[in-house]
Structure 1
Amino acid sequence: MMRRKPTVADLRALKGRRQLTMLRYFSLEEAGAAEQAGIDIASVPPEIAADPRHREVAPSIFTMTGLTHLEAGTPEDYLRWSGDALQKGADAIYCSGSLRTVEYLAREHIPVVGHVGLVPSRATWTGGFKAVGKTAEAALRLLDEVRAYESAGTFAVEIEVVPVEVATAISERVGILLWSMGAGPGCDAQYLFANDILGTTEGHVPRHAKPYRDFRAEYARLQAERVAAFREFIADVESGAYPEDRHIVRLPDDEIEAFMNGLEERTVDADAAG
């Protein structure tokens, strides 16, 4: 049975009822695999969201895209960009901008997703790339921040690298969805990057990553196979093993005779003209 793409209202109605699955993926191949596997939500780069082929391969995945506040500009810029993204196929907009910007978008009925905890574009304010909310005071600030996002009009907030007790308690006390990246199972969705699942993450592998496959080894194996195949091709050319008769086209015998006769005549004519 074909799945139907959920609406914002559908997702909100699922709060507290079941855990949703969420991926960040970067290619149409990954999008197609996510669709076939049954992933609920995706976060994708703008170029994927805008590609008409994305909806062909992932018609039922609720898709979020966005820009950081460093990329988008003013609230008006954000609104223009968001409207264009939604018209091209996105279902919601990620916004790391100020609450003023979030509220501005929400008032225009843009489905907005906020971000708390470890927010890469704002990490300098929370001490860099590390867990946030590890003291009671810091945890209460997170609760205040999520509630502020709720008041500003978001329907969901990504909560990243926050102690599980904190994320769970906050999720239980707000009406919006909390999408957990490294914040435990007490939220409404579990969010991982596709490269963390497939084992292709470069450099530091985050604590919350769980590789289910080793694509890095598979890619290395395929590269070795490419090199071996190219070397075999070179050897076949040098030895005369390629091309074989099945790789070429031959003239019928009577056409060969006519062709050779024609060559002879043209050679004689050329010699005479010279």
Structure 2
Amino acid sequence: MRKTVPYFFQMKAEQERIAMLTAYDYPMAHWAEEANVDMILVGDSLGMVVLGYDSTVPVTMADMIHHTKAVRRGAPETFVVVDMPFMSYPTVDIALSNAGRLIQEGGADAVKLEGGESYAPIIKAITQAGIPVVGHIGLTPQTATQLGGFKVQGRDFETAKQLMCDAHALEEAGVMGITLEAIPAEVAKRITQEVTVPTIGIGAGKECDGQVLVIHDMLGMFDRFKPKFVKTYADIKSIAVDGIRQYVTEVKGQSFPGSEHEFSMSKEVVEKLYGQEQN
């Protein structure tokens, strides 16, 4: 049965950790649901790990809706959160329209927005419209260039204090949870203790209420770079490449397909078929 927003608050209250994974298509979502993850995130990281872009910036609403539909079909019983892509929420009106599309057309249960207290008015408008929102502070990939690249955030007192202000502003705006990305574990722990909403860490230490990883990272399927916070639980790429290499070898050596992979017809039809060719 699909979990609900109150259930995640209950998990925080009972200190039961929330396990979240990204998924971008039907099979990955199906695997995640079969493995009993609590939440699936259709992240705009699909731009890098699925579509091959250098960042998440080129990802469009059409991309997000397309992939969210596939994920929903693959995981009908799992709570699905979907990222609002770059420039899909510059104003309240545009944000409301796009958030609504992700819910209505994509089939998501909640949307996720990057940004701190300056985005609180937009988030509040979305939540007041009845759409659950997950916030995202710390390293925000859509604006990584402004942050100096993909770097840890909140290491000095002033920036750490700002992260705490951001978290409280998002809480007051009505978010159902906050993603904390690439921030010191000590800061994430303090935020988690102070806010009433669940925190989901990615490179934010073990004291968060839950964790999220990109499924392609944790299964060894994306190797352009590997963040420090990623743990590889399986090496799917090596297995896949070995399998493909064996296929190529067998095709070139004519050992595939074998007779067990072929279809046949009756001897009489064969004789008639070849007899017609000979005439």
In the alignment, structure 1 segments of 5+ residues that lack a partner are 268-274
**Residues 114 and 156 in structure 1, CA contact (< 8 A), matched pair in contact too:** yes
Residue 73 of structure 1 and its aligned partner are, at CA, apart by: 4.8
* 2:109 paired with 1:91: yes
Change (3 A) 1:243 1:169: closer
Correspondence for 1:6:
3
Check conservation: 2:30, 2:74, Cα contact below 8 A: yes
8 Å CA contact 1:46–1:66 kept in 2: the answer is no
Q: Match for residue 48 of structure 1?
A: 67
SS in 2 for 1:68: coil
Q: Report if aligned partners of 2:220, 2:235 keep a CA contact under 8 Å in 1.
A: yes
TM-score (norm 2): 0.80
Does the Cα contact within 8 Å between 1:70 and 1:121 map onto a contact in 2?
no
Cα 1:252–1:6 shift into 2, 3 Å: closer
AA aligned opposite 1:50: K
- Give the unaligned 5+ runs of structure 2: 43-63
* Contact 2:88 2:95 survives alignment (8 Å): no
Residue correspondence of structure 1 range 13-92 to structure 2 within 5 A: 13-16=10-13, 17-44=15-42, 45-51=64-70, 54-87=71-104, 88-92=106-110
Amino acid at match of 2:207: G
CA distances 1:191-243 after superposition (whole Å, capped 9, x unpaired): 1010111011232200010111111211210220221132133x899xxx989
Matches within 5 A, 1:215-226: 215-226=236-247
Structure 1 residues 160 and 231: alpha-carbon distance in aligned structure 2, compared to 1, 3 A threshold: same
Shift of 1:48: 2.8
* 1:63-109 CA-partner distances (Å, limit 9, x unpaired): 00122342455322221222222234211001226223212211212
Displacement of 1:6 in angstroms is: 0.8
Cα contact 2:139–2:181 (8 A) shared by 1: yes
Q: 1:229 to 1:78 in 2, by over 3 A?
A: farther
- Residues 217, 12 of structure 1: alpha-carbon distance in 2 compared, 3 angstrom cutoff: same
SS in 1 for 2:180: strand
Matched residues in 1 for 2:261 and 2:143: separation? 62
Q: Counterpart amino acid of 1:219?
A: A
Residue 37 to residue 168, structure 1, CA distance change in 2 (3 Å):
same
Q: Which residue of 1 aligns with 2:206?
A: 185
Report the alpha carbon displacement of residue 24 of structure 1 after superposing the two structures with TM.
0.9
- After TM superposition, give the deviation of residue 249 of structure 1 in Å: 4.0
* TM-score normalised according to structure 1 size: 0.82
Query: In the alignment, residue 138 of structure 1 is paired with which amino acid?
Result: T
The partner residue of 2:146 within 101, 111, 125 is 125
1:103–1:152: 8 Å Cα contact kept in structure 2? yes
Cα contact 1:114–1:158 (8 A) shared by 2: yes
Q: Give the SS at the match of 1:224.
A: helix
Residue 164 of structure 1 corresponds to 185
| Amino acid in structure 1 at the alignment position of 2:200 | W
CA change 1:106–1:236 in 2 (3 A) is closer
Partner of 2:50: none
How far residue 248 of structure 1 moved from its aligned partner, in angstroms, is 4.5
- CA deviations 1:106-144 (Å, max 9, x no partner) are 121210111100000122333221101111221111000
C-alpha contact (below 8 Å) 2:88/2:94 kept by paired residues: no
- Residue type of the alignment partner of 1:89: G
Q: Provide closer, same or farther for how the CA distance between residues 219 and 103 of structure 1 changes in structure 2, counting only shifts above 3 A.
A: same
How far apart, in 2, do the equivalents of 1:229 and 1:129 lie?
43
Larger helix percent:
1
Q: How far apart in 2 are the matches of 1:244 and 1:215?
A: 26
Inter-CA distance 179–247: structure 2 relative to 1 (3 Å threshold): same
Segment of structure 1 superposing worse, 116-125 or 165-174: 116-125
Q: Measure the CA separation in 1 of the matches of 2:167 and 2:260.
A: 67
Q: Does 2:210 match 1:212?
A: no
